[in-house]
Chain A
């Protein structure tokens, strides 16, 4: 079955075509979405658990290097399995009308978003990475502006313009790389770049920086993160959860893949990316501290978590081979943990918004008395995001600390401790203002469809599974660098 891994791309493709055909017929559309997203997880999980990876395919029977090459390595399959869970959870969460955009094109675009993501993970060629990136972003552009509120359109415009620029930079740097090496296939590119690096290190460094700036915009690095808190909090809960969990992490995955595995590991480049990540993680969380709107706080948390993952990603191109392999595993572990937790937090805060009609902390109080179950569900991902042992965030941060102490970058540890402290501070702010306190307003709460709770419970269970048995995922993600 392993050689049929490309069917993973076709599952969301068929789902998007079918949901377009049955557009307007809610029952059929929802059925298609659930069936296809569930079969996506089943197939990806089957390939991962039976370890049928490292299959290659060149489309159209062309010789390697000419045709489009797809490859299912362990890193891609791990990411795809996690994305599959988000695919299913997002579909489940969106079954009720209140939680997603009430628009007839929503599901078609939702499926094409996942089509682009799957392709981006499976591709083995820089130009195809760009194409799949664009498919993902194109669907997200339309999804972001599906509403009609003014603030949302302004935020969406910023999102679109900035990501457009990043796409342009991406394409131009691909052109430069092709001009220098005459190939874009990852394995040959890696050889030729290493060869070029011995002759002219500055040129390769420049290529790496130009490509990095494209990925940095997409994954909301300091100083180009401002599109993110402008656009995400204004979307519907279901959509913002999926986008918040997946899109920035796609940029980080691309960095991990391209700079960790293809480009030669350069000390200067590493230092710059490390400093930028450290700044991102601190400045992002400072943004969270001053906000008073739940999903805005969470959006700033994404930026700070991108900084954390950025630290791991930058160590993945540390010149020492052993450290770089460890860091690749740590980065992958962190990305997986973060996708699950972040999507879940957005889903839960969306439920609060639907129930109370507001997400401003000053309007909320005493949710714990009225909804103890929701508070419990919130506590699991929130604690995990901060990194309270034994939740999954603790294990993710632990390996980061281990790597930075081993390489004697103690100031990075200081940044990470400060970042975690402020994350704790802003989480406590959400908790004490919305969950604790007296019940002030006794108006009946809006009821929510049970499927939304099921999606949240599914993600909480995933977090708990990783927390209780981090070894399994840790060993698996550490095999990636080999």
Chain B
């Protein structure tokens, strides 16, 4: 395998995939895409970054903050689901504002809910990849 070729192409692919994942995430409400698929694409971009750049700090950042970020995202999901109750609406109701956004149309509470899913999927998939390819045995059982 020609490592230089692969590494250079990874470097180009990385930001491109991140951009695609953002677009997928934003268009997800009415079109194919959304938090889950966007998150998977973002995790692909992060895995490529780790593969192409051995010195990147991403891996160690993931190791340190993984659990706290997961906990905050989980809490955020629950709170966004409960938020409509304060406006006398049913659980999980989407609240739309008039703030315009490219691709997504308007800003809404659904987008925030999706954002947490996006983060959870992206980070946990990358973390799983890091865990599976780590043979030093340091990070056992998370």
Residues of A within 8 A of B (CB): 6, 10, 13-14, 16-18, 20-21, 23, 57-61, 68, 103, 105, 146
Contacts and interface: CB of A to CB of B under 8 A. Distances in A.
A6 B141 contact: no
Contact of A17 (B75, B89, B142): B75
Contacts of B89: 61
A105 B141 contact: yes
A431 B111 CA distance: 60
Contact of B93 (A6, A13, A60): A60
Interface stretch (B2-10, B39-47, B63-71): B63-71
A61 B141 contact: no
A20 B93 contact: no
Given A10-B78, A105-B142, A17 B71 contact: yes
Interface string B70-89: 11101100100110000001
B124 to A, nearest CB: 12
A58 B90 contact: yes
B interface, how many residues as a size bin? 10 to 19
Contact of B92 (A18, A20, A60): A60
Nearest to A23: B67
Contacts of A60: 90-94
Contact of B91 (A6, A17, A18, A146): A6
A57 B74 contact: no
Contacts of A13: 74, 78
5 contacts: A13-B74, A17-B72, A20-B67, A58-B90, A60-B92
Contacts of A105: 141-142
Interface of B: 67-68, 70-72, 74-75, 78, 81-82, 89-94, 141-142
A391 B125 CA distance: 51
Given A10-B78, A10-B82, A59 B92 contact: yes
A103 B141 CA distance: 9
Nearest to B89: A61
A14 B68 CA distance: 14
Contacts of A57: 90-91
A224 to B, nearest CB: 30
Contacts of A59: 90-92
Given A23-B67, A103-B141, A105-B141, A17 B74 contact: yes
A55 to B, nearest CB: 12
A58 B91 CA distance: 8
Contacts of B75: 14, 17-18, 21
Contacts of B81: 10
A14 B72 contact: no
A6 B89 CA distance: 14
A16 B94 CA distance: 25
Contacts of B94: 60
Contacts of B92: 59-60, 68
A105 B70 CA distance: 13
Contacts of A68: 92
Given A57-B91, A60-B92, A20 B74 contact: yes
Contacts of A146: 141
A61 B82 contact: no
Contacts of A14: 75, 78
A20 B78 CA distance: 14
A60 B92 CA distance: 4
A408 to B, nearest CB: 48
A14 B77 CA distance: 10
A99 B17 CA distance: 48
Closest 10 CB pairs of A and B: A21-B71, A20-B71, A17-B74, A59-B92, A60-B92, A17-B75, A61-B93, A61-B90, A17-B71, A13-B78
Contacts of A10: 78, 81-82
A191 B91 CA distance: 27
Contacts of A21: 67-68, 71-72, 75
Contacts of B78: 10, 13-14, 17
A58 B92 CA distance: 9
A16 B71 CA distance: 8
Given A103-B141, A105-B141, A105-B142, A16 B82 contact: no
B5 to A, nearest CB: 41
B116 to A, nearest CB: 11
Contacts of B90: 57-61
A99 B31 CA distance: 50
Contacts of B141: 103, 105, 146
Contacts of A16: 74
A43 to B, nearest CB: 15
Nearest to B72: A21
A21 B74 CA distance: 10
A183 to B, nearest CB: 21
Contacts of B67: 20-21, 23
A68 B142 CA distance: 33
A18 B92 CA distance: 21
A20 B91 contact: no
Contacts of B72: 17, 21
Contacts of B68: 21
Nearest to B90: A61
Given A17-B78, A21-B68, A21-B71, 10 more contacts: A13-B74, A17-B72, A17-B74, A18-B71, A57-B90, A57-B91, A60-B90, A60-B93, A61-B89, A146-B141
